[in-house]
């Protein structure tokens, strides 16, 4: 190995020794052995894996003169070097002099491998409780080493990192494990001085352990072994159980990672309950209160337990006199207040309809495909309950005008499902555009209208005796000649 091996500038990690008391050296007690670990490489940097012959000597100077006798030495020790790392117990073959460490504050270790002296010598310092290598530039690591007593480090400690940026820095893939026994508690404490700070406690009672986060001696967060997390409680009943107020300044998504509003609930579709919000209050009212600012209540939406469990939707403070009430049976009251709505719709006050202008009902026709908006229709005596286009003048079977002509929709539609259904909506009262034929006389506003010989068309009344019981309504616009639409105020007479 001559001219091929080289000991790197690093060698020592820590030196540990055992003694009777912490100040044993001060009492004159001797050190038995020093556990020493070093790293050996070839000149090209490759780690050595071989058996070598080594000698170790201690001097009280870093530059001993040629031939100077060492204070202690061990020669011809056979070392097994694996992947560049070797371990040796100094003093195991040649005991240290009893006063070597008490009489010398500074010692220097010379290492000779296969006859080659490693330079420079390594400076060692001794105290009453520990020794260290002051110039350990590259730590190779201790394998299966033990520390028999307290360890004190005045600088920074890096594990897996040779330039720690804090008092303790761990860099690696194995993580940090703290254990005091198979079933014992595991603690991690962070304190400011001697005051109570953050405590992480596994609280092991057997098997998998819980974790507690404490401050000032009080549990702040609790993670049980099954995975439930409690904040403000040490008995979480769900994956997250919070006891106390919770403030969310951003958006909250339930079942979604991209909520579009302050609160979004996204169901999976597996069950109807996935898309529902349940509000419970054990025998008392439950609902929502809407504010326009931090303090001003505007509306309530709630289940009124004192009013037959009806749903109330009302402005703040007006549920006894206004708002909307929906009973358990499905009846709706608008403005009914403390009165229970007994019909499907009860309105206390006036109603304004803006969707259309006539009152219509659906009717059936024998040939519904021939029927269109604006047609004047009459009762079909051959098909009870049905209607047909009016085809003769002054027909006392006149029924009304089919709604929808001229873009005017029905304002109110009446029907009973599965009983009085139909194909087309027929205006019975109100304003609606109807087909008229002015060839029987020009039509001007105010004229009475009746059926005409032209199918589905009205004409103005000229024979008032025949018109009795056959009047359709009054014209509200004019039609001087031909056929066209006239706005009609429907009123059967």
The reported pLDDT for the residue numbered 419 is: 74
Domain count across the chain: 5
Three-state DSSP class for 407? helix
pLDDT at 242 > cutoff 80: yes
- The helix (H) or strand (E) run that includes residue 114 is none
Q: Are residues 274 and 336 in the same domain?
A: no
pLDDT tens across 308-332, in order?
888 888 887 676 667 899 999 999 9
Listed range (158-167, 232-241, 440-449, 465-474) with the worst mean pLDDT? 158-167
Q: How far is CA 257 from the centre of its chain?
A: 6
Q: CB burial class (10 A; 0-12, 13-18, 19+) of residue 200?
A: middle
Q: Are residues 434 and 402 in the same domain?
A: yes
Instruction: Look over the chain and give the mean of its residue pLDDT values, rounded to a whole number.
Output: 80
Q: Are residues 325 and 365 in the same domain?
A: no
Q: Is residue 274 in a domain?
A: yes
pLDDT tens across 252-278, in order?
988 898 999 989 989 888 888 888 888
Q: Are residues 481 and 368 in the same domain?
A: yes
From the list 92, 52, 95, the residue with the least C-alpha distance to 76 is 52
Q: Are residues 13 and 32 in the same domain?
A: yes
Q: Are residues 481 and 363 in the same domain?
A: yes
Q: Are residues 21 and 100 in the same domain?
A: yes
CATH number at residue 76: 2.60.40.2060
pLDDT at 28 > cutoff 60: no
Percent of the chain with pLDDT over 90: 33
Q: Are residues 194 and 220 in the same domain?
A: yes
Q: What is the mean pLDDT of residues 408-417?
A: 84
Residue with tokens 């520390």: 147
The reported pLDDT for the residue numbered 261 is: 92
Listed residues 133, 166, 200: the one ending a domain: 133
Q: Are residues 294 and 275 in the same domain?
A: no
Q: Are residues 16 and 77 in the same domain?
A: yes
Q: Are residues 200 and 217 in the same domain?
A: yes
Q: Is residue 366 in a domain?
A: yes
Q: Which domain holds residue 227?
A: 187-242
Beta pairing class for 168-170 and 157-159:
parallel
Q: Is residue 170 in a domain?
A: no
Q: Is residue 147 in a domain?
A: no
Q: Is residue 153 in a domain?
A: no
CATH number at residue 423: 2.40.300.10
Residue with tokens 């002509």: 405
């Amino acid at each position: 190995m001559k001219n091929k091996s080289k000991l790197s500038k690093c060698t020592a990690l820590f030196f540990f020794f055992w003694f009777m008391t912490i100040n044993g050296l001060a009492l004159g007690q001797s050190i038995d052995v020093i556990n020493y670990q070093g790293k050996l490489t070839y000149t090209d940097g490759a780690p050595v894996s071989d058996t070598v012959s080594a000698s170790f000597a201690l001097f009280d100077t870093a530059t001993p003169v040629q031939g100077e006798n060492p204070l202690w030495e061990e020669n011809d020790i056979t070392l097994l070097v694996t992947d560049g790392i070797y371990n040796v117990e100094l003093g195991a073959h040649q005991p240290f002099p009893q006063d070597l460490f008490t009489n010398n504050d500074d010692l220097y270790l010379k290492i000779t491998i296969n006859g080659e002296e490693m330079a420079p010598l390594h400076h060692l310092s001794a105290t009453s409780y520990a020794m260290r290598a002051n110039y350990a530039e590259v730590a190779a690591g201790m394998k299966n080493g033990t520390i028999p007593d307290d360890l004190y480090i005045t600088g920074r400690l890096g594990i897996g990192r040779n330039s720690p940026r804090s008092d303790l820095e761990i860099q690696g893939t194995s993580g940090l494990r703290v254990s005091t026994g198979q079933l014992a508690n595991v603690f991690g404490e962070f304190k400011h001085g001697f005051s109570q700070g953050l405590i992480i406690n596994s609280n092991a009672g057997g098997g998998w352990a819980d974790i507690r986060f404490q401050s000032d001696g009080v549990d702040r967060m609790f993670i049980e072994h099954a995975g439930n997390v409690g904040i403000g409680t040490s008995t979480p009943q769900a994956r997250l159980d919070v006891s106390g107020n919770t403030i969310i300044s951003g958006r909250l998504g339930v079942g979604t990672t991209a909520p579009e509003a302050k609160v979004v609930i996204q169901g999976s579709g597996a069950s109807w309950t996935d898309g529902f919000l349940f509000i419970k209050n054990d025998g008392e009212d439950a609902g929502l209160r809407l504010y326009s600012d931090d303090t001003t209540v505007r509306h309530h939406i709630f289940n009124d337990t004192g009013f037959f469990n009806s749903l109330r939707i009302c402005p703040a403070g007006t549920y006894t006199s206004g708002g909307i009430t929906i009973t358990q049976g499905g009846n709706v009251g608008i403005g009914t207040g403390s009165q229970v709505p007994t019909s499907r719709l009860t309105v206390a006050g006036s109603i304004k309809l803006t969707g259309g202008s006539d009152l219509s009902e659906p009717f059936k026709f024998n040939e519904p495909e021939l029927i269109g908006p604006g047609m004047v229709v009459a009762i079909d005596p051959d098909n009870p309950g049905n209607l047909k286009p009016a085809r003769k003048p002054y027909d006392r079977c006149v029924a009304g005008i089919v709604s929808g002509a001229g873009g005017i929709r029905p304002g109110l539609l009446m029907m009973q499902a599965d009983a009085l259904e139909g194909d087309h909506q027929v205006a019975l009262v109100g304003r609606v555009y109807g087909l008229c034929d002015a060839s029987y006389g020009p039509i001007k506003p105010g004229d009475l209208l009746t059926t005409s010989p032209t199918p589905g068309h009205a004409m103005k009344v000229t024979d008032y005796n025949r018109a009795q019981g056959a009047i359709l309504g009054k014209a509200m616009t004019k039609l001087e000649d031909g056929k066209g639409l006239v706005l009609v105020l429907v009123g059967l007479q």
